[in-house]
Structure 1
Amino acid sequence: MTLARIALGTIGVLGAGGLLVVVLGTFRPRIPVIGFLGSFVSGQYPVHVVAAALAGVGAGLGLVALGVPRLGVVVAIVAGVALLGGVVVLAALRTTARAEGVRLDWPLALTAVDQSGSAPDATVRYRPGLDLDVTLPPGPGPHPVMVWVHGGSWVRGERTDRERSNRWYADHGLAVVSVGYRLPGDTPLPGATLGEAQRDDVAAALAWVRGAGRAYGLDPGAVTLAGQSAGATLALSTTAALVGVPGSSLPQPTPTPPPAATVAFYPVVDMTLIAPGLQDAVFGGPAASVPALTRAASPIDLVAASLPPTMLVVGKADNFIRADLVRRHDAALRAAGVPGRLLQVPYADHVFDHPYGSPGGQIARPAVLAFLRERAWSPTSRR
């Protein structure tokens, strides 16, 4: 009995402590550290939070039954509060899903905790040292295509980070080309900073889709440029450069038109706000010392009516890139006459969609697909 009390007490205390951090951070996301942990966990794994809270209530009741009533009551109360908070989060996600016409798969949210379980149909070298992955819909083309730019703070990341989501899009008629681009340590582009070289790589991938990509059944008239985090920023700034927005730039001419639409998952819109070390990596020095380069990389400075339809996706509690700045950027785009929309996922922080089954991911994928069907698919590729 003593060992059982010790074991259950230890589990109960540790579990209650973790649940307390999660529930505090979920509803007070601006609390340093705790806010990030809470919103990050609730954004990616809300169903797991509810399951853990139920287990915590059970542990508390078990301690009471084992003759440790005070500790048991405390554990049960903390777990109960976390359970209530988790239910609030799930209810908000369900409301958002209904508004988007999505039926959430709760077992999927519990079991699909990463992006494993799929693979591209082809891997192609699109320029020296750089590859892209092609994930295709069933049947013959021409297929509308989304060129996907991965995140990783401009200094890391993999083009394989959304493979299962890419397959979902392909199963619903949208081909996905996931692009690898230059990172620190790769062969530099002569005369260009890393940030400029990365935009050049993204533009080259678009040109590949409209050229050699035709052999894979890709529709050159229905190309969307999309990405997440740093990749979303690259997608927005590269689109602006191809459109010719004042202040935008590419290090060398790229013979390809701008995409038909742009989709940006939680982009960094103001590059003056990134960490000093990242400024050094992207610009070769502090952002303040290279204002032209900084402007060319900052979507907030690249707003014009000539931009294609643009969809922004963000977690309402995103602490990493500041969701308020994304909302402000969306307002600026609409004020300039750029068609598009903003999708906000409640109680979600950065990379909320990395688990394939996350409710935020389940909501975002159909919303993006519907937006592109309306705004970017050419008549020849409509289904």
Structure 2
Amino acid sequence: MRLPTRRGGRGSACGCRGCRARRSCPSAAGPCRSKGCSAGRRTLVAPEPPAARRRPSGRAGRFHLRKRSESPWGTLVILPESAARMPAGPSAPAAPPGSNYTGSMSALTRRQVISGAAAVAAAAAPPAARPNIILVMADDQGWGDTGYNGHPVLQTPNLDAMARSGLRFDRFYSGAPVCSPTRGSCLTGRHPFRYGIFFANAGGPGDASDYALEDREATIAEILRPLGYRTGHFGKWHLGDFEGPKKASPADAGFDEWFSTVRKVPTVDPSPAEYWENGKPVTVKLAGDDSEIIMDRALRFVDGAVRAARPFLAVIWFHSPHLPVFATPEYLARYTGHAEARRRYWGAITALDAQVGRLRTELRLLGAADNTMLWYASDNGPEGDSESEFFPGAAGGLRGRKTSLFEGGIRVPGLLEWPAVIRAPRRVRSVCSTSDYLPTVLDALGVKPDVLRPLDGVSLLPLIRGGNDPRGKALAFETSRVTRGSPRLALLEGRWKLLTNLNADPDMLFDIESDESETRNLAAEQPETVRRMRAALTDWRRSCDNSRNGIEEVTYRIHPREAVELKMNVAVPAGAGPHPAILCLHGGGWSMGSRHSFSKMIAEFAAHGFLAASAQYRLAPAFRYPVQLEDVAAAIRFLRKHARTKEIALLGASAGAHLALLAAFSGKERVRAVIDISGPTDLRDWRMTESAERSLRQATGKTSDALVEDLLGVAGRSHPSVTAASPVARVRPGLPPVLIFQWKEDQAVSADQAHRLVGALARAGVTHEAIWFEGRGHALNGPGAGRIVPETVRFLRGL
């Protein structure tokens, strides 16, 4: 069924709502009979959308051998040795320069996240109060390409009206300086480098996309559907193909109804071969302005949802004013006397603006405007190296353009209307972003995001309701390929903006509040600010690398008085949870070490079906024992709450094993088992070999005696505190099972320490097992270390 595309969209002979919305006239029993009325040509009934098709996650069926167990630890998955670290598959994106992307596929799937959202649906706002959500976006529209931002010629009366009635964001940023990554940020609330969309998908008809939105990413559509929302996408998709190896269609991302293209199309008379509708190629001719064609379908969807009394999510992504840009005669005529390229560009934007007007009018006629969040933005800055006759897009005096991380490449028009909440117009100077859409909508619905899958966006709801700046964290950017002279990374922190490549290249620091055109580099004058922001960007970049490898960095405890934020890395297996969990504690003599040393191991545990985490803890000598055990207990409680599992095992290496044993033996937080890898078990008599002591002194200037003193705050090994902090002194009947790994010639922790623990456990009747490795080794390194994960899995499955 073909909808009229040329008549009624700009008004009609009778003026009835049917003419504007292309529906049967609501004021009569049948279609409007007024002469020339487009709605009178036929009664248009929106068909029920087909069930959204889901592509396989790519994880099921990977391992062919499964053994069942009655253990609460679930199903044992036996991996071939080569699968311990899964390589990138044929659809895995190539990593940008400087990244640590390995293509590991152990990750949370969308379906798991959606089940979490559905579980809290009862706590969300009642259906009558749930706002409709509309995300409108232009393609390559610059900051200065609106009337309300001061363009001297361009006519955008409807965007101007939105700016006068709602929130006008003066520092609104696209998630990236190019198309596809920004679109991913709109749907996920996460930076696109977390899921491997590094740049805009290129190519023409028939070419495969470079990147596809991964199935493990939860989209706003998938989260809202279980809450009763109808979901629709209309216009440019650009997040994967609709068939083939890079398939990632709107249906795969949770949209019930869609009329979309894989890539750009001309902005007048687009080819129907580029459009698909609900999983099938469009075969009817598409004539006229492309923005109007898109809005035709979007209004049909909106009308159907309102008439069905269903809240809705409509994502409307126009192609205008992206090249190849054209305008119909009606809009070209508005810019007579200007160069042809300018007439086309401005005409296309004014035509888009008219469709925004149609949408706003229809919402009012349907009585849906009051409780609809209507967002508007652009996906990046204007095309071209500079504003010219051939590239008329305006950055509004800002430095840089599309592909650049200077302001002109990422600061875009940003508007929000929501009459039920925004009673008076306001201009907002706070830093806001397309990544903020998802957390803001969830906040409005009373749905808490999954803390095991951190977002880069923040909720703007407090700001929307009239509060202060809600962004409690900096906004980070990274891009690849073409940058038009800007560095590849940027960090926005209030007034400060750092641009850097995180290498020896000169950094750039700007005070955006006083120098929004970025003309004065303050890096030499503010070295401490540069150092701090570079460190923050380094941490954020590593977090993105980990996310692509299926490992998320989350905060599990904050000590405000000490200004300490404790984090853990979490690897979640595929499939429905809850999953048994393993909490890993790093070594480093209680005063050094990093949770990142377990990245490979927790990914391997996740591949076996365990939710695996590696937690940092407060280090000595700044923090004395037993605060480390307090942190371990907090990490256990965090996993128990947010992973929804009671089956948690502790695993530690070296000093981390010592803490794991003490935490398990204390009984303060129940654990299912504890795994000790090269852990000191009796501090009264633990010393390194001479060669190991010498290496320790060369590396740190300390001895093993000094490490114990730093931890406990007492000198000598005969103090009662040393005995109390020795796991062998805590052994008693009823403790959780213990698995011990020990190298026979360990130079840092002698085998005698493991023998002492084995003897104490045997005398107390505690279930235990010791696995001895030949030769020299320690913690996670040495001959036989590859057995640690499979032997641990076997041990836990057997409990």
- State the TM-score, normalized to the length of structure 1: 0.58
**In 2: Cα distance, 1:173 partner to 1:102 partner:** 11
Instruction: Indicate yes or no: 2:744 matched with 1:316.
Output: yes
Which of these residues, 177, 192, 206, is aligned with residue 636 of structure 2?
A: 206
Instruction: Indicate yes or no: 2:705 matched with 1:276.
Output: yes
Instruction: Indicate yes or no: 2:567 matched with 1:131.
Output: yes
Q: Secondary structure at the match of 1:324?
A: helix
Instruction: Indicate yes or no: 2:650 matched with 1:225.
Output: yes
Counterpart residue number, 1:367 = 791
Counterpart residue number, 1:160 = 596
Q: Secondary structure at the match of 2:664?
A: helix
**In 1: Cα distance, 2:81 partner to 2:775 partner:** 16
**In 1: Cα distance, 2:734 partner to 2:101 partner:** 38
How many residues were matched structurally? 239
State the one-letter code of the partner of 1:258. R
Compared CA separation, residues 316 and 185, structure 1 to 2 (3 A): closer
Deviation track 1:90-120 (CA, whole Å, cap 9, x = no partner) reads xxxxxxxxxxx99877xx9xxxxxx994635
**In 2: Cα distance, 1:289 partner to 1:346 partner:** 32
Which of these residues, 295, 304, 326, is aligned with residue 732 of structure 2?
A: 304
- Structure 1 residues 20-169: aligned runs within 5 Å: 117=102, 119=546, 120-128=550-558, 129-169=565-605
Deviation track 1:44-66 (CA, whole Å, cap 9, x = no partner) reads xxxxxxxxxxxxxxxxxxxxxxx
Deviation track 1:104-151 (CA, whole Å, cap 9, x = no partner) reads 77xx9xxxxxx9946353211111111111111111211110010000
Q: Secondary structure at the match of 1:347?
A: coil
State the one-letter code of the partner of 1:156. M
State the one-letter code of the partner of 2:709. D
Q: Secondary structure at the match of 2:722?
A: helix
Greater share of helix: 1
Counterpart residue number, 1:195 = 625
Counterpart residue number, 2:675 = 263
Deviation track 1:338-363 (CA, whole Å, cap 9, x = no partner) reads 11200111113213x33xxx651222
- Structure 1 residues 169-184: aligned runs within 5 Å: 169-184=605-620
Instruction: Indicate yes or no: 2:761 matched with 1:333.
Output: yes
Residues 265 and 314, structure 1, Cα contact 8 Å, conserved in 2: yes
Q: Secondary structure at the match of 2:609?
A: coil
**In 2: Cα distance, 1:175 partner to 1:102 partner:** 16
Q: Secondary structure at the match of 2:793?
A: helix
Q: Secondary structure at the match of 1:311?
A: strand
Residues 674 and 739, structure 2, Cα contact 8 Å, conserved in 1: yes
Residues 116 and 163, structure 1, Cα contact 8 Å, conserved in 2: no
Instruction: Please state how far the C-alpha of 1:236 moved relative to its aligned partner.
Output: 0.3
**In 1: Cα distance, 2:752 partner to 2:101 partner:** 32
Compared CA separation, residues 204 and 296, structure 1 to 2 (3 A): farther
State the one-letter code of the partner of 2:797. R
State the one-letter code of the partner of 1:163. S
Instruction: Please state how far the C-alpha of 1:180 moved relative to its aligned partner.
Output: 0.3
Residues 775 and 783, structure 2, Cα contact 8 Å, conserved in 1: no
**In 1: Cα distance, 2:599 partner to 2:79 partner:** 21
- Structure 1 residues 3-14: aligned runs within 5 Å: none
**In 2: Cα distance, 1:142 partner to 1:290 partner:** 44
Instruction: Please state how far the C-alpha of 1:369 moved relative to its aligned partner.
Output: 0.5
State the one-letter code of the partner of 2:615. V
Compared CA separation, residues 287 and 204, structure 1 to 2 (3 A): farther
Please provide the CA RMSD for this pair: 2.5
**In 2: Cα distance, 1:162 partner to 1:359 partner:** 18
Compared CA separation, residues 104 and 213, structure 1 to 2 (3 A): closer
Counterpart residue number, 2:659 = 234
Counterpart residue number, 1:82 = none
* Runs of 4+ displaced beyond 4 Å: 101-105, 115-118
Q: Secondary structure at the match of 1:162?
A: helix
Q: Secondary structure at the match of 1:141?
A: coil
Instruction: Indicate yes or no: 2:780 matched with 1:344.
Output: no
Compared CA separation, residues 338 and 289, structure 1 to 2 (3 A): closer
State the one-letter code of the partner of 2:708. Q
Residues 268 and 321, structure 1, Cα contact 8 Å, conserved in 2: yes
Residues 261 and 308, structure 1, Cα contact 8 Å, conserved in 2: yes
Compared CA separation, residues 183 and 316, structure 1 to 2 (3 A): same
State the one-letter code of the partner of 2:786. Q
**In 1: Cα distance, 2:675 partner to 2:783 partner:** 19
State the one-letter code of the partner of 1:276. D
**In 2: Cα distance, 1:328 partner to 1:162 partner:** 27
Q: Secondary structure at the match of 2:573?
A: coil
Counterpart residue number, 1:3 = none
**In 2: Cα distance, 1:321 partner to 1:116 partner:** 34
- State the TM-score, normalized to the length of structure 2: 0.29
Compared CA separation, residues 297 and 102, structure 1 to 2 (3 A): farther
Compared CA separation, residues 262 and 335, structure 1 to 2 (3 A): same
State the one-letter code of the partner of 2:744. K
Instruction: Please state how far the C-alpha of 1:282 moved relative to its aligned partner.
Output: 0.6
Instruction: Please state how far the C-alpha of 1:332 moved relative to its aligned partner.
Output: 1.9
**In 2: Cα distance, 1:346 partner to 1:280 partner:** 31
Instruction: Please state how far the C-alpha of 1:197 moved relative to its aligned partner.
Output: 0.7
State the one-letter code of the partner of 1:368. T
State the one-letter code of the partner of 1:132. M
Q: Secondary structure at the match of 2:710?
A: helix
Q: Secondary structure at the match of 1:151?
A: coil
Instruction: Please state how far the C-alpha of 1:226 moved relative to its aligned partner.
Output: 0.9
**In 1: Cα distance, 2:765 partner to 2:660 partner:** 19
Higher relative contact order (CA 8 A, sep 6+): 1
**In 1: Cα distance, 2:730 partner to 2:772 partner:** 22
**In 2: Cα distance, 1:315 partner to 1:116 partner:** 32
**In 2: Cα distance, 1:185 partner to 1:319 partner:** 24
Instruction: Please state how far the C-alpha of 1:296 moved relative to its aligned partner.
Output: 2.5
Q: Secondary structure at the match of 1:195?
A: coil
Instruction: Please state how far the C-alpha of 1:278 moved relative to its aligned partner.
Output: 1.0
State the one-letter code of the partner of 1:208. F
Instruction: Please state how far the C-alpha of 1:287 moved relative to its aligned partner.
Output: 4.2
Instruction: Please state how far the C-alpha of 1:334 moved relative to its aligned partner.
Output: 2.0
Residues 587 and 654, structure 2, Cα contact 8 Å, conserved in 1: yes
5+ residue gaps in structure 1? 1-100, 109-114, 189-193, 243-255, 376-383
Residues 121 and 136, structure 1, Cα contact 8 Å, conserved in 2: yes
Deviation track 1:266-321 (CA, whole Å, cap 9, x = no partner) reads 11011123522112211112144641x22232111111111101001111111211
State the one-letter code of the partner of 2:714. G
